[in-house]
Amino acid sequence: MNSHRLLFTCFCMFLCLSLAAQNNGPANEKCGTMPYLQKKLQENAVLRSRFEQKKIEFNKTVSSRSVNNSARLNAIVYIPVVFHIVMANPALVTDAQIQAQLDTLNKDFFGANGDSVMIPSYFKSLFGKSNIQFCLAQRTPDGDATNGMNRVFTTKTNFNFDDAVKHSYSGGADSWNTSKYLNVWVCSLPSSLLGYATLPEDGTPAPEEGVVIDYRTLPGGSLNDFNKGKTLTHETGHYFNLYHIWADDNGGCVEDDFVDDTPKQAGSTSGCPSGVKTDNCTQAGNGVMYQNYMDYSDDPCLVMFTPGQVDRMETALSMYRTSLLSSNGCQPVILNNLDAQLRSVNQPSQRLCNTLFTPQVTVRNKGSQNLTSLQISTSIDNGPVTTYQWTGSLTTYNSIVVDLSNLTTTTGNHILTVYVSNPNSNTDQDRSNDTLQINFQYFAPMTIISEGFENNTFPPPGWDVINGDNALTWERVTGISKTGNASVRTNNYDYDHIGESDDLRMPSIKIAAGTDSAFLSFQVAAAAYSNLNTPGNNWDTLEVLISTDCGKTHTSMYKKWGPTLVTTNVAYSTEFFPTTSQWRKDSIDLASFIGSNDLIITFRNTTGFENNIFLDDINLRTVVVNPNLKAQGFLVTPNPTSGAIAVQFYPQPANLKGIQLFNDIGQKVAEITTGGGANTYYNFDLSRYAKGMYTVRAIFTDRVITKKIIKL
């Protein structure tokens, strides 16, 4: 998607124009489903082509089934619904409101809504009734009892149709299995948005499928004219593949909603009209169907689907959302007497710094009987089994954290398997939740690291990646590098979850006592999407952290963002791929960590939705100074010599003007001038000179020091 930001800008312009064109009603009389769809289709040409083809195929199927009277369900089916109430104060939405919303949804779909008396006589024959019904979920995906209401606290004041409400990492609530539940997120939306939904086959990732509505649209909500619960009916129509009744072509009268028994309509309706209403698309007859749930009329005026719309929704259920029909989400939970659930493996973490460790697990009692004893078994890489006998008292639906028997591992990547058995010395009646596996690694600390990511294995041995949101993260790329043929990058260009961090961790490090200096160096290449003078911008940030306690706590050693991070001052509106000249070598002094063991250095990317960051040639270098050099401060080696000599200083010499070489009769045979700067290391080659005694003179502004050497 090398122009996705331009498309996003165009989309925003499209949305503004679209909302301006629909100027028949107030600003908050809007559905975001079609702009949400258009955004995805504009960004992905392949998806757009595929979606259009699927739409054609679906329309043909609906038409064929309608002709053959096979589009309809033969009996009532129930779809489990979970309401995720994501608000700063979730208690503002009451259980009674949710129940009233579900009742409204069921009545509207089934054609049992009392306000159907408002359907005018000329449309009564077009009153559609669906066999799709909805229940509040009775069980969670884990099989726990629930009332179908998941209240989640958030610090966000409102959400938009960017799907942030659908993820805990962005302040929302993670979906329940969308193949088994209709997920409805209830939250605060901007005043211009009542709700939005995902259409079948629209490219939405499975965890984001469902419906989002503003909490004020619930029955009894505070949004006047839109507080009868009809927003959810409208958006659920989209969820089952219905389009707006005016087809979103803004009066063109060319597009339609693919339903034969809904009249053509120029644009959305506002308010609550009465009598026959015509427009330039339907200029005579019974006029437009402003009573239809897929219009924008006020809630009291929305009272009907048509048979054609019902055919379309029920066909969509059977073609695209059929897994909802086999869900057990509407079935109450019947507890087994004995059911111990292994809820999580808390330790070891992803990285170990010792071969000896203590596994830690969380066990939950999902049985009706009080849990008093349990066997918890562990195995590394399917090796020998170690069993821990737990005793205690754990009541239904309560959990306990248990530290197990110590285990010993070896160098490398491993799999730890943990399983529970014999609750109360009997058989566990649900074995499906007894076993968990986790990956972990142990590598002995290294003293030198030189990594250019040339090997195909990523992460390299001893390295690992922490990807908290399971989205874009550090990855190896080929054909882009400072040296060699590979490097690593984070794709902040496509990573729009602003503020999310991803860690690339180096192997454990040991900097031995007695080391004189230690440095971490690396090549970095980065660019921004935004102009570098943009005030208050969310910039991509690269930080280098060091931990002395195996990753539990960290100290920041390096942190750059925006103008201080980039290696080019040009703002890139396309993805940044650096040339060899667009890299910078940065270095970090690690002298304060000399003598430390099990150090972990982390490269942390925090995305600002800007552009790519690349790393290459990551090197840890330590220096141990010759003890004679440390003692004398000036050393010439080897002595005697048959050729080359090294002239060394410790520490870096101040005020050094030059170094001269004299033979045994006082002639100057060679000289090095420092030119105002000074290094700690210089070379002379005596191979072309005669055998004998020579003198090396180091000339400072305030003194001269000498060393005699013998040329063999």
From the candidates 43, 201, 235, 451, give the one annotated as an active-site residue: 235
N- to C-terminal Cα separation, the chain: 68
Backbone torsions φ then ψ of 192, nearest 5 degrees = -90, 5
Side-chain half-sphere exposure of 510, counting CA atoms within 13 A:
10
**Secondary structure class of 601 (helix, strand, coil):** strand
The residue to which tokens 């999902």 are assigned: 366
Q: Which two tokens stand for residue 114?
A: 């009392």
- Measured between alpha carbons, how far is 123 from 110 in angstroms, rounded to an integer? 17
CA dihedral over 636, 638, 642, 643, signed as positive or negative:
negative
CA–CA distance, 35 with 21 (Å, rounded to integer): 13
Q: DSSP string spanning 247-301? A: TTSTT-SS---S-TTS---SS---S---S----SSS-STT---TTBTTS---GGG
Q: Are 532 and 526 in contact (CB under 8 A)?
A: no
Specify the 3-state DSSP secondary structure of 65.
Answer: helix
Residue type, 365: N
Is residue 412 a contact partner of residue 475, using CB atoms and an 8 Å limit? Answer: no
For residue 183, give Cα distances in angstroms to 210, 258, 610, 627: 5, 26, 31, 70
Cα–Cα distances (Å) from 9 to 5, 39, 165, 250, 498, in that order, read: 6, 10, 22, 21, 17
SS3 percent helix, strand, coil of the chain, rounded to 5, is 20, 30, 50
| Most distant pair of Cα atoms in the chain: their distance | 125
Per the annotation, the verdict on 235 as an active-site residue is yes
CA distance 627 to 222: 80
d(CA 645, CA 638): 6
Phi-psi region of 706 (alpha: psi -120 to 50; beta: other; left: phi over 0): beta
User: What are the residues facing 345 on neighbouring strands?
Assistant: 361
**Residue 98 CB contacts under 8 Å (≥ 6 apart), including other chains:** 83, 85, 136, 148, 149, 186, 218
Other Cβ atoms less than 10 A from the Cβ of 94: the count is 13
Q: Where are the beta strands (DSSP E) in 468-599?
A: 475-478, 486-490, 501-505, 517-526, 541-547, 555-561, 584-589
Q: How many CB atoms lie within 10 A of CB 608?
A: 22
Under 8 Å CB-to-CB from 584, ≥6 apart: which residues? 523, 524, 525, 567
- Residues marked active site are found at 235
